[in-house]
Amino acid sequence: MPDSSGPKTRFSQFLPYVAPFFVFVGFTYLGPVFSLSKALVFPAKTLSVTALLFFYWPRIKHEIKVCLDLNAVMAGIAVFIFWMGLENYYPKIGFESGFNPFELAQGPYVYILLASHLFGAVLVVPVVEELFWRSFALRFLININFTRYALGTFTWFSYVFVSIAFGLEHHRWLPGIFSGLIYALLLYQKKNLFSPILAHGVFNGLLGVYVIVNNEWGFW
């Protein structure tokens, strides 16, 4: 049958998946371009993206079924070990963000910055990125009318392409590609976006603890 959905319909379908991601990316990359203070950019990014997720939640919640997934927890731990184990063994790309709240603020605001960044890394970023890469992009590369395909529909092309693209989004691209492959495998296994979100959140949480304990702000 011919495709009866027009450009406006498709655009509306895309928004819950792409709008939070592009706002997130916009804050990340336009902040340095316009020399905006990280003390303002990071909280603003977290609040803006969180608001968008709440706004679109009725349209995406059916894909995110909260459950206890030990495989996802173990996957997040494995990604962290791999990520840290490869450090200094490959060339990085792009720029290192280096978010250090103790250099950006003083007094109580330091801890507000730290808390907002940790909250964003553990609870917001995994949802934003998994919605875009594992829910939207994996299916969009199969067909522009991606919602016609079940969550976790597999093709080799979309699996490999999205995992590489996800990795190249990161300064540390090589473990980024590895984590993209792992998160996609969790989705293919469970058909539930919560599994890669959980693994992603576990990894970001472990990385956040490592950064804070060791003062390794370059990882942030």
Domain ranges of the chain: 7-219
Hunting for tokens 């939070």 — which residue is that?
20
CB 116 within 8 A of CB 43: yes
Average pLDDT of the residues in 93-117: 87
CB 80 within 8 A of CB 155: no
Tokens of 218: 């370059």
How many residues does the structure list for the chain?
A: 220
Angle subtended by helix axes 108-119 and 38-60, to nearest 10: 30
Hunting for tokens 């991601």 — which residue is that?
21
Interval 109-122: pLDDT, tens: 899 899 989 999 99
* Least confident residue range of 20-29, 75-84, 90-99: 90-99
pTM, 2 dp:
0.93
Q: How far apart are CA 129 and CA 208, in angstroms?
A: 17
Largest CA distance in the chain: 63
Interval 164-220: pLDDT, tens: 999 999 999 999 999 999 999 999 999 999 999 999 999 999 999 999 999 999 998
Quick count: other Cβ atoms within 10 Å of Cβ 15?
14
